[in-house]
Structures are given as structure tokens and as C-alpha cells.
């Protein structure tokens, strides 16, 4: 006669700590999104290297807004990490404060980026440079907006008590995505602002 018996050992549900099935899924998302930015940067380099005119046509873009924006975005990753660790340790208050500051910093980055767009002397349809400039920065900005939306939703859930101490994996996913968006920005920054200054 066969029967089921219960063992004393236990297995965790979904995963240990932050590494669950969704964590692996997020890595797949990074692979495919990361390579998308790779192709965008390839397109930038291809158009720049194959074109006939100066690249960028109006000289390297100014750093006046880009540097503070970069500091805001990269800094927000550290704040968010601090918030996540606190929330995981059960300090929900610090977690919320950190999350709120991160959202504010991300919004600041978006505002600076949009200001820079508005100040540009060229428009999307002016030349191949303007086209790839707006597409590359715009694709990144769309990712920032999506990340920001995710953080805002997480913030609201945290206020409403829907995400609590045990929801490590939810926090991990939002945080990972935000770090990813920041790392991608460094490559975008190198491409748009630094590479024209190196030739």
C-alpha cells in the first residue's frame, strides 16, 4: 500500500530571499532590453561613422544639464538600495522614505532630460543625428518612466500595507529594474556626451 507522508524538512515557497522565479525572469528582461540599447548605440555609431558631415553636426552636446541629471539618477540607485535593505530588515518607515526620495530624484532626472530636449536647437526630423539622438535618449527616458511608475506603484502598495516585510521579491524586482535603467544611462551618457569629445 502506498501512502503520502510528511517529512520534517521544509522548502521555501517561491525562492530564498530575493532569488525567485521572477528574479530569473527579470534577468531575461535585462538581456533583451540591454541588447536593445546595444543595437541603438550601434546605430548611433554606424550613422556617425558612415555619414558625410560632422558628427554631431553642431558639436558635442553641452554637459550643463546632463551632469546633474546623471548625478541624480545614479545617486537614486544608492538611495533605493538603502531603502530596500531597510525594508527587508523590517524598517518599513525608512523603506518608504528612501523610496519616496528615489521617486523624487527620478522625477528630477526626467524633468532635466525634458528641459534638455526643449532647449535643443534641432527637432526629431532634422537630420540623422537628431533622429538617433531623440530615439536613443527617448528610449531610455521611456524606461525611466516605466521604472518610475513601478516605484510609485510599490510606494502606494507599501502605504496601503499590501507590501510588507516578507515581500522581498517584489522590492527586489523594482530595485533591480531601477539599477538596470541607471546602468544603461551610463552607456547612453558615454555615447551621446563623452564619445564626441574623444575624437
Partner 1 sequence: MSAIADAAPGQGGRWTGPLDPKPPASPNPAEVAERLENIWGDAPGLRGWFGTVDHKTIGVRYMITSFVFLILGGLEALVMRIQLAQPNATTLSPEQYNQLFSLHGVTMIFLYAMPVLSGFSNYLWPLMLGSRDMAFPRLNALSYWLFLAAGIFLYASFPLGAAPDGGWFGYVPNTAREYSPGPNIDVYCLGLIFLGISTTVGAANFVVTLLRMRAPGMSVNRLPIIIWGTLTASVANLFAVPAVSLACLMLWLDRNHGTHFYDIAGGGQPLLWQHLFWLFGHPWVYAIVLPAMGMVSDALPVHCRRPLVGYTLVATATVATMVVGFGVWLHHMFATGLPVLALSFFSAASFVIAIPSAVSVFSWIATIYTGRVRLTVPFLFFTSVILLFVIGGVSGVMTASLAFDWQLTDTYFIVAHLHYVLIGINLFAVVGAIYHWLPKMSGRMMDERLGRWVFGFMFIGFNLAFLPMHWLGLIGMPRRVWTYGADMGFSATNLVVSIGAFVFATGILLFLVNIATALRSGRPAGPDPWGGPTLEWAIPSPPPVYNFAIIPLVATRHPLWEDQLDEGSERSQLASGFLLDNGKETLGVTPLDGEPDVILKMPGDSLLPFAFSVAALVLFGGLLVGSAWIAVIGGAAAIIALVVWFRPHPTPEACEKVRIYD
Q: Which residues bind partner 1 (CB under 8 A)?
A: 2-16, 20-21, 24-25, 28-29, 31-33, 35-36, 39-40, 42-43, 46-47, 50-53, 57, 124-132, 135, 149, 153, 157, 161-164, 166-167, 170
CB of 67 to partner 1, least distance (A): 28
CB of 71 to partner 1, least distance (A): 29
Alpha carbon distance 155, 83 (integer Å) = 11
Which are the contacts of 123, defined by CB distance < 8 A and separation ≥ 6?
Answer: 130
Q: Cell 531597510 sits at which residue?
A: 86
Which are the contacts of 137, defined by CB distance < 8 A and separation ≥ 6?
Answer: 113, 117, 188, 192
Alpha carbon distance 191, 136 (integer Å) = 10
Quick one: 4 or 199, whose CB is closer to partner 1?
4
CB of 32 to partner 1, least distance (A): 4
CB of 162 to partner 1, least distance (A): 6
Amino acid at each position: 500500500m502506498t501512502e503520502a507522508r510528511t517529512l520534517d524538512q521544509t522548502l521555501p515557497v517561491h525562492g530564498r530571499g530575493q532569488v525567485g522565479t521572477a528574479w530569473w525572469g527579470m534577468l531575461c528582461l535585462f538581456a533583451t532590453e540591454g541588447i536593445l540599447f546595444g543595437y541603438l548605440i550601434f546605430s548611433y555609431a554606424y550613422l556617425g561613422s558612415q555619414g558625410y558631415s560632422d558628427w554631431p553636426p553642431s558639436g558635442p552636446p553641452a554637459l550643463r544639464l546632463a551632469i546633474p541629471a546623471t548625478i541624480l539618477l545614479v545617486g537614486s540607485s544608492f538611495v533605493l538600495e538603502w531603502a530596500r535593505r531597510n525594508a527587508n530588515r523590517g524598517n518599513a518607515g525608512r523603506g518608504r522614505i528612501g523610496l519616496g526620495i528615489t521617486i523624487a530624484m527620478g522625477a528630477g532626472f526626467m524633468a532635466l532630460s525634458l528641459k534638455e530636449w526643449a532647449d535643443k536647437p534641432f527637432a526629431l526630423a532634422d537630420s540623422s543625428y537628431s533622429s538617433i539622438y531623440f530615439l536613443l535618449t527617448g528610449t531610455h527616458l521611456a524606461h525611466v518612466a516605466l521604472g518610475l511608475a513601478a516605484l510609485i506603484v510599490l510606494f502606494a502598495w507599501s502605504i496601503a500595507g499590501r507590501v510588507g516585510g516578507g515581500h522581498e521579491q517584489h522590492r527586489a524586482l523594482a530595485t533591480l529594474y531601477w539599477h538596470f535603467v541607471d546602468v544603461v544611462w551610463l552607456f547612453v551618457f558615454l555615447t551621446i556626451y563623452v564619445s564626441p569629445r574623444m575624437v
